[in-house]
């Protein structure tokens, strides 16, 4: 046997032996409750979607999943907590597109959005909808843009660097108007102030905006998907309204600290994927 062949065999055996504890750990996981950090307020789109998935996942794996809302700073506060957590599969992050975009607004965050996390699974893509209070007397997106071009207009978001912030900025730049950004700690707080008329409009995730729309507290002016949403089929898209390059959707998903063993990440991925394929979960999402 050549030295090279012997080296390769020994190396392969060593790698297999090294991976065995990880596989055993992944098979035994979880043996205690899991901590899930949502870096936005309770009731936000990311929170609602996350809780739908985690409730079923908890039942499937036989352990409680405790959700902690750590909102603020475009989601960076909660992300920083997870980046520093033990990579043992017992701390997970439920986040959205703001995870990769927020560092542009907060350049001094104590983590790297790519290097310090491992992606586990994508829950899905959430469309945004531009909403306004009925008291404003504006019924279409075109009317909103015309009003904004004539005078001062304000828009709310779930925070600087949040997906709702970027969605409004994309619409504003595409339509060519100025507006004052009013950031909140989370989406629910922002929606309340838009519904009461204290802030003019918001580009919100359809999940969190829908109760306000169905309750008559907000008017949907346009959805930011390339095609109309099946949830609001009578509401035109921002592109239909005449504003190209104004579409904006954001993802929701699960991440863990970067050094979490691959076997654990794979197990968490597989268990969550089974949850996402359940008809009851699909209907809720």
In order of their start, the domains of the chain are 31-125+251-284 (3.40.190.150), 126-249 (3.40.190.10)
In terms of phi and psi (left: phi > 0; alpha: psi -120 to 50; beta: otherwise), the region of 72 is: left
Query: pLDDT at position 2, please?
Result: 52
Query: pLDDT at position 23, please?
Result: 52
Query: pLDDT at position 18, please?
Result: 44
Query: pLDDT at position 105, please?
Result: 83
Q: How far is the C-alpha of 239 from the C-alpha of 249, rounded, in Å?
A: 13
Query: pLDDT at position 152, please?
Result: 87
Instruction: Please report how the helices 206-214 and 187-195 are oriented relative to each other, as an axis angle in degrees rounded to 10.
Output: 30
Evaluate whether 176 touches 146 at the Cβ level (below 8 Å). no
251 beta partners: 125
Q: Residue 77 contacts by C-beta under 8 Å, 6 or more apart in sequence?
A: 39, 70, 71
- Which pLDDT tens digit goes with each residue over 80-106? 999 999 999 999 999 988 888 887 888
Query: pLDDT at position 25, please?
Result: 63
Two tokens, residue 199: 């802030």
Where b means 16+ CB within 10 Å and e means fewer, 139-173 reads eebbebbebbeeeebbbbbbbbbbbbbbbbbbbbe
Query: pLDDT at position 17, please?
Result: 46
Question: CA nearest 41: which of 85, 90, 74?
Answer: 74
pTM higher than the cut 0.85: no
**What is the bridge-based pairing of β-strands 91-96 and 117-132?**
unpaired
CA 15 to chain CA centroid, nearest Å: 36
Question: CA nearest 40: which of 127, 116, 99, 122?
Answer: 99
Secondary structure E strands in 87-192: 91-96, 117-132, 154-157, 180-183
How confident is the prediction along the chain (285 residues), in pLDDT tens digits per residue? 554 454 344 444 444 444 445 554 677 899 999 999 999 989 888 999 999 999 999 999 999 999 999 988 888 999 999 999 999 999 999 998 888 888 788 888 899 999 999 999 999 898 999 999 999 999 999 999 999 999 889 999 998 988 899 999 999 999 999 999 999 988 899 999 999 999 999 999 998 999 999 999 999 999 999 999 999 999 999 999 999 989 888 899 999 999 999 999 999 999 999 999 999 998 887
Evaluate whether 273 touches 121 at the Cβ level (below 8 Å). yes
């Amino acid at each position: 046997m050549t030295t090279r062949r012997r080296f390769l065999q020994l190396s392969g055996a060593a790698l297999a032996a090294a991976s065995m504890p990880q596989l055993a750990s992944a098979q035994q996981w979880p043996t205690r409750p899991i901590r899930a950090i949502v870096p936005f307020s309770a009731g936000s789109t990311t929170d609602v979607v996350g809780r739908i998935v985690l409730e079923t996942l908890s039942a499937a794996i036989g352990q409680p999943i405790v959700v902690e809302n750590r909102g603020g700073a475009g989601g960076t506060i909660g992300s920083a907590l997870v980046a520093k957590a033990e990579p043992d599969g017992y701390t997970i992050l439920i986040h959205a597109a703001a995870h990769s975009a927020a560092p542009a607004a907060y350049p001094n965050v104590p983590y790297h959005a790519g290097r310090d996390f491992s992606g586990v699974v994508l829950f899905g893509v959430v469309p945004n909808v531009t909403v306004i209070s009925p008291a404003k007397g504006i019924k279409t997106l075109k009317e909103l843009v015309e009003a904004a071009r004539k005078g001062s207009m304000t828009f709310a978001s779930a925070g600087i660097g949040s997906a709702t912030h970027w969605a409004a900025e994309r619409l504003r730049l595409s339509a060519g108007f100025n507006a004052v950004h009013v950031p909140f700690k989370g989406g629910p707080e922002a929606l309340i102030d838009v519904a009461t008329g204290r802030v003019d409009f918001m580009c919100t995730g359809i999940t969190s905006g829908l109760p306000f729309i169905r309750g008559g507290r907000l008017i949907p002016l346009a959805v930011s998907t390339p095609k109309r949403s099946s949830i609001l089929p009578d509401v035109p898209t921002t592109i239909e309204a005449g504003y190209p390059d104004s579409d904006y959707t954001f993802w929701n998903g699960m991440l863990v600290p970067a050094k979490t063993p691959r076997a654990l990440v794979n197990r968490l991925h597989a268990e969550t994927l089974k949850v996402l394929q359940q008809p009851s979960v699909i209907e809720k999402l």
